[in-house]
Chain A
């Protein structure tokens, strides 16, 4: 009877992120000189999906109560790789895309193997692998350059039926093809279970290792989709260290804004997508209000701090003070 209420509780984080995004986006477009037009939406979407893909990647790992500090670097590496491979005839381009995705998958699988079978802490393991991935990217593109199949790039960054941004359509497709099956599969549930209570999951005979491995591997794949899109927008590859780092950090911010718990076991990639879009809009808001761009990091930081603090209220209800430290 009250099924919808349980659904509502479960989706609270996602809906909150959606709400924040909508409010910000409405403020943004209503103050934009051009208003709510297809062009404005397309530009915003194209900027937003990059972070959205990386945030989805981060979500998968965070659900297992891990963290992936290499997502930004996989994003860069695959961007550099795509600027070599995604060129030429349609067949060559298609093979190039597959190769780039395969590399992303491999990067994620390496992270997973090190964390799960090497039993290293995710934070340390992924800092190290992230540096390696960046290093490879730098060797591939010591200087910005390269090119991409522009027909494909324009198609995927343009508009469908003249109004809908193509990048959003791709994002939706990826959600349907990767996130939805994962979250409803046994492996996905194992990832959640491992993040929520690994001992209980083990005692219940849940395939913890395979679940976590799938999460890390798919994270690599999603980051590489982001890398492909970066290439489509810029037509070039560039191993920009600062940009990789900020994507990693922003992905964590987006995940938190999207209601995904950093303690694991809770949240959805869809929430993280709205978190990413909302986070991007913060920057754009400053632009339409003519703020000095110098204010942007400070402003983003404050918003993030407020969002994170909302999650800490539960601590006030704890009756055994030792539970503060669990």
Chain B
């Protein structure tokens, strides 16, 4: 390690969200004139780390020093002032304003109290040129630009703020290859100008090309810091593994039914630039997992099956017969019988102010109604069944569902769909933010439903869950299926390696290490 005072240092930083610890006594030193890569799997604490650094969240404990002096940031603006600028994964651009407006947004040049448009234009053109995006017109509206161009504007905006420390969080994920190489040139130049760059990326080849220093995070801690190139990809994956297996999973069904046409099949499914030629099958009785890093098209794939996306190409087959599903209402019809447990239960799964009873019966109303009138007795019977089956803890059926705990809310979402006895169940990260006990119940339930003949497609950001619950796992990367893991091949090592799209010696499909 360097003996001089580092430009920026974090010591013993901890942050909890409710009961979940996102950061646990994390340490980090950033040197001027170097590119520091941060690695770690989903939920390892990388995002929280940079949110703390850039003033978005305040840490529960620990201290940060800049040039050896202790600092605290009350807001992103305060961090900017100190010279720490972050390019976030979620874009921070204002869609209705022009590129130039956006670039100078935090500190526009002024003349006589008004914004000096000519100076603004100059600053914007300058920043765009420095970011290697001189082709973007400063007067264009941000909302009219494609995603990759917006990302370039985001980088130009950060540069216009004259940062000392620049944080790039997955900043290249939306970029084209040509832009990435331009940006790399820019980043290297910034490094030689003495900036400190913090680079968060899942792309190992990018890190190999750029980074001087690497830090691996796991369970909210910095588990290793090392000089770039001093460890092999395998060693890095090894460092990233190692979460405790704290969940109890039900036993998997021994032998898979085969022969019959799969319940759900996709052939060459593509959509916009998010889904790329995806083919997959899910048989009745099977739990198929979707793995990979967050945001590689898993969510879009589930939405595509559920009839939410327009302009889909490729084919979807149910029981071997091609179908066109044009809306969620069509997806749940009898011939298809699909259910989607959405990712954000608060907006897509529940009507929070409405009662538990009302929320439970929404999906099944058509079955409970005779001539448009709801049969209250039948409704009550079905609801009682579900509340019993899922052990939903609620003060009563007539309390607003928003008053329930996260775990119980999620059970209501699941129960709502089970009331229709779906034949195909799509789950989008259903255990995010719920307690361990409820998680276990959901695992048991999934297996029970599969054993009863449902076909289950299950996306999770938690690798343990994929390992514990799934018969097969498809790993997505950049909207395409990169690898299929079956049975004993589903290990944390294989999941992480294929999620990072590393072509190591243990990657070839069908070569289980432990069998």
Q: Give me the interface of A with B, judged by CB distance under 8 Å.
A: 2-3, 6-7, 9-10, 181, 184-186, 189, 192-193, 195-197, 199-206, 261, 264-266, 318-322
Contacts and interface: CB of A to CB of B under 8 A. Distances in A.
A184 B56 contact: no
A200 B94 contact: yes
Contacts of A6: 98, 137, 139-141
A193 B300 CA distance: 29
Contacts of A199: 92
A199 B307 CA distance: 29
B380 interface: no
Given A184-B117, A192-B96, A192-B97, 4 more contacts: A192-B94, A202-B76, A205-B105, A321-B310
Interface in B64-91: 75-77, 80, 88, 91
B95 A265 contact: yes
Given A192-B96, A205-B77, A184 B139 contact: no
B139 A204 contact: no
A204 B98 contact: no
A9 B327 CA distance: 34
Given A181-B114, A186-B110, A203-B88, A320 B96 contact: no
B514 to A, nearest CB: 41
Given A9-B141, A189-B108, A318 B310 contact: yes
A203 B95 CA distance: 14
Nearest to B75: A205
Interface residues of B, number: 41
A189 B106 contact: no
Contacts of B93: 197, 200
A319 B139 contact: no
Interface string B138-171: 0111001000000000000100000000000000
10 contacts: A7-B139, A192-B97, A193-B97, A200-B91, A201-B105, A204-B76, A204-B92, A205-B75, A205-B106, A322-B308
A320 B312 CA distance: 10
Interface of B: 56, 75-77, 80, 88, 91-98, 101-102, 105-106, 108, 110, 113-115, 117, 137, 139-141, 144, 157, 271-272, 300, 303, 307-311, 327, 348
Contacts of A196: 94-97
A319 B117 contact: no
Contacts of A319: 271-272, 309-311
A15 to B, nearest CB: 16
A110 to B, nearest CB: 25
B139 A189 contact: no
Nearest to A316: B310
B394 to A, nearest CB: 27
A14 to B, nearest CB: 15
Contact of B95 (A185, A197, A202, A322): A197
A212 B348 CA distance: 30
Contacts of A9: 141, 144
Chain A's interface: helix, strand, loop or mixed, by majority? helix
A246 B272 CA distance: 46
B96 A189 contact: no
A204 B94 contact: yes
A203 B303 contact: no
Nearest to B101: A189
A266 B436 CA distance: 46
Contacts of A185: 113-115
B106 A184 contact: no
Nearest to A318: B310
A193 to B, nearest CB: 5
Across the A-B interface, the 7 shortest Cβ-Cβ residue pairs: A205-B77, A265-B96, A6-B139, A196-B96, A203-B92, A184-B114, A205-B106
A44 B141 CA distance: 36
Contacts of A193: 94, 97, 105
Contacts of A205: 75-77, 80, 105-106
Contacts of A192: 94, 96-97
A206 B157 CA distance: 13
Contacts of A186: 108, 110, 115
A7 B117 CA distance: 13
Contact of B309 (A195, A261, A320): A320
Contact of B94 (A10, A197, A320): A197
Contacts of B110: 186
A197 B140 CA distance: 17
Nearest to A5: B139
Contacts of A3: 139
A200 B95 CA distance: 9
B92 A200 contact: yes
A203 B56 contact: yes
A131 B406 CA distance: 41
B92 to A, nearest CB: 4
Contacts of B307: 321
Given A185-B114, A189-B108, A204-B76, A321 B327 contact: yes
Contacts of B97: 189, 192-193, 196, 265
A200 B106 CA distance: 11
B426 to A, nearest CB: 15
Contacts of B272: 319
B297 to A, nearest CB: 13
Contacts of A266: 96
A264 B95 CA distance: 11
A261 B308 CA distance: 26
Contact of A320 (B108, B141, B303): B303
Contacts of B88: 203
A203 B96 CA distance: 16
A264 B94 CA distance: 11
B140 A320 contact: no
A3 B117 CA distance: 13
Contact of A201 (B94, B141, B271): B94
B496 to A, nearest CB: 29
Contacts of A202: 76
Contacts of B95: 196-197, 200, 265
Contacts of A201: 94, 105
Among B76, B92, B110, the most chain A Cβ lie within 10 Å of the Cβ of B92
A192 B102 CA distance: 11
A189 B115 contact: yes
A322 B94 contact: no
Residue among A10, A195, A196 with most chain B CB within 10 A: A196
Contacts of B271: 319
Contacts of A7: 139
A193 B97 CA distance: 7
A185 to B, nearest CB: 6
B65 to A, nearest CB: 22
Contacts of A318: 310
Contacts of B106: 204-206
A5 to B, nearest CB: 9
A203 B93 CA distance: 9
A258 B395 CA distance: 52
Nearest to A205: B77
Nearest to A194: B94
A193 B98 CA distance: 11
A185 B93 CA distance: 19
A184 B115 contact: yes
